[in-house]
Amino acid sequence: MDNRTDGPDGAVVVEIDGLTKHYAGVQALTDASVTIRAGEVRALLGRNGAGKSTMIRLLAGVETPDRGTIRIGGELLGRGVRRSTALGIETVYQELSLVPELTVAENMFLGVWPRTAGRVDYDTMRRETAAVLEELALDIDPLSRVESLPLAEQQLVEICRAVRRRPRLLILDEPTSALAATEVQAVLKTVDRIAAAGVAVVYVSHRLDEIRQVASTATVMRDGRVVDTVTLEDVSTAHVVALMVGSVEPAVEERAERAVDRSGTPLLSVRNLALPPKIRAVTFDVHAGEVLGIAGLMGSGRSELLRAVAGFHPISSGSVAVAGTDVRNVGAARMKALGVGMTPEDRKGAGIVPLLGVDENMLISDYRAVSSGPTIVYRRFRAAAAGLISRLSIATARAQTPIVNLSGGNQQKAVIGRWLHAGSRILLLDEPTRGVDVAAKAQIYRLVRELADGGAAVVFVSGELEELPLVCDRVIALRGGEITEELTGSDITIDSVLSAAMAA
């Protein structure tokens, strides 16, 4: 698909001037100014925390700026979502908001079902839905239940619902993040058709390869500021990455070079593992004493890969070996017995039992170690919990404090402690620093390195790609269902990791 070039010649749709927004302790936006024209697909790029989400919330009317103005078609945006919608702004967020049990047509008119003689007019819904689908050249049955559609088509239905309301500005927040590479093109083609109809589009994505396919221009943000707006055909991907990274120094100490002995048998070996449609054929090893990072964008299959190795997700094909021995019938209980532990991406939903104490959350992985026969020996229980709390520097007044009362960083350390108590020698850490502050991140980095120094093999997955150079001895890039690049030692830099993950 060719880049659009007609956008800059269209009428100005969006004028953002001096936008500033401050939250408690955080300067989210500072003096941001942007202009977007009709028919233009403008990519909005930046690392996590750059200010993209704040910009979107302000445009959508969810938040009000402290200073600055937003004009849509020359009219001042003012306050509130209703005003934003009235001026023709539609936002499609990363998480789908469809009702799976309803049909495509019912979802298209969700909340505003047309009525005739006091009854819902299903014929009108079906007819108008079919017209929008035809307009965007989508072969989707209006009467299909959303739950029966592939994820890519569900995403397209979400976009169509916004298009039906005839927006002047359409904001798409990571619309392909959960899609496999083969599904992305349908979304990009649809975005191209929307722009061709004269709609201004703000497209947020970390995937620079698809950005170049769908957008003509890109606004790059860093630390709450707009650092530049570029015409993509005039700049290299390396230049865009440099704008995103800037000269900001990491808030924690740099990773010290460590000698990892990879001459022996790996503690964990994965060979040609497949999980269609996300993972096609992934092969990697992790040795004792090594921290292996996996760089991949949202939707690349990182979490599914870890869950499969840990035995929580069935493997379609391929093999997993622990300490040189192939594992037959990979399952969670079997992998745990072999010393594999996993901290899940969704810490609150799947990692902790909120109302249980810190002690119970950690020791639940192996009550037998603190029991005599079927009976828990509370002297052993208390000693084991106290030992883990001290070792992991978990800040809690009492071991029995409900874990939900702890900070995110301390909760995460307790989840890691669960697998230390179970004797795990292979740790699969999925987003271990998500939702924790800078100080807690630094503590988790140190803990991970200490575990590796003690002989553990650690796989570290993070969507904050810039933190991988701070903790990993080796990084592999997961893209298009395969491992596409490997970085080691001094080659692991913020620039190289971003470029590897973003298909530079």
351 pLDDT higher than 50: yes
Query: Are 381 and 460 in a shared domain?
Result: yes
CA 156/CA 129 separation, integer angstroms: 12
Domain-embedded: residue 124:
yes
Domain-embedded: residue 143:
yes
Q: How many distinct helices (H) and strands (E) make up the chain?
A: 16, 24
Query: Are 466 and 408 in a shared domain?
Result: yes
At a CB cut-off of 8 Å and minimum separation 6, what does 176 contact?
Answer: 155, 183, 184, 187, 188, 205, 207, 210, 299
Query: Are 358 and 409 in a shared domain?
Result: yes
CA 71/CA 77 separation, integer angstroms: 5
CATH number at residue 425: 3.40.50.300
Q: Is 23 left (phi over 0), alpha (psi -120 to 50) or beta?
A: beta
How many beta carbons lie within 10 A of that of residue 471, not counting itself?
26
Q: Which residues are registered as beta bridge partners of 19?
A: 32
User: In which band, very low, low, confident or very high, does the pLDDT at 200 lie, cut at 50, 70 and 90?
Assistant: very high
25 pLDDT higher than 80: no
Query: Are 429 and 485 in a shared domain?
Result: yes
pLDDT per residue over 215-265, tens digit each? 999 999 998 999 999 999 999 888 888 888 775 444 455 556 677 888 899
Q: What is the mean pLDDT of residues 133-152?
A: 90
CA 284/CA 115 separation, integer angstroms: 58
In sequence order, which ranges of 143-248 are alpha helices (DSSP H)? 151-164, 181-196, 208-214, 237-245
Query: Are 173 and 158 in a shared domain?
Result: no
182 pLDDT higher than 80: no
At a CB cut-off of 8 Å and minimum separation 6, what does 273 contact?
Answer: 279, 281, 282, 283, 305, 308, 309, 315, 317, 318, 319, 320
Q: What is the mean pLDDT of residues 457-464?
A: 90
Query: Please, are residues 85 and 61 in contact by the beta-carbon 8 Å criterion?
Result: yes
Q: What is the mean pLDDT of residues 469-496?
A: 88
At a CB cut-off of 8 Å and minimum separation 6, what does 247 contact?
Answer: none
**Of 215, 247, 279, at which residue does a domain stop?**
247
**Structural domain containing residue 476:** 268-501
**Of 123, 145, 166, at which residue does a domain stop?**
166
301 pLDDT higher than 70: yes
CA atoms within 13 A on the CB side of 98: 29
Phi, psi of 436 (to 5 degrees): -115, 160
The residue among 2, 458, 464 whose CA lies nearest residue 191 is: 2
Domain-embedded: residue 489:
yes
Strands 26-37 and 12-23: antiparallel
Element (H, E) at 134: helix 122-135
CA 282/CA 275 separation, integer angstroms: 9
Query: Are 414 and 426 in a shared domain?
Result: yes
User: Among the listed ranges 314-328, 356-370, 478-492, which one has the minimum average pLDDT value?
Assistant: 478-492
CA 166/CA 401 separation, integer angstroms: 52
272 pLDDT higher than 70: yes
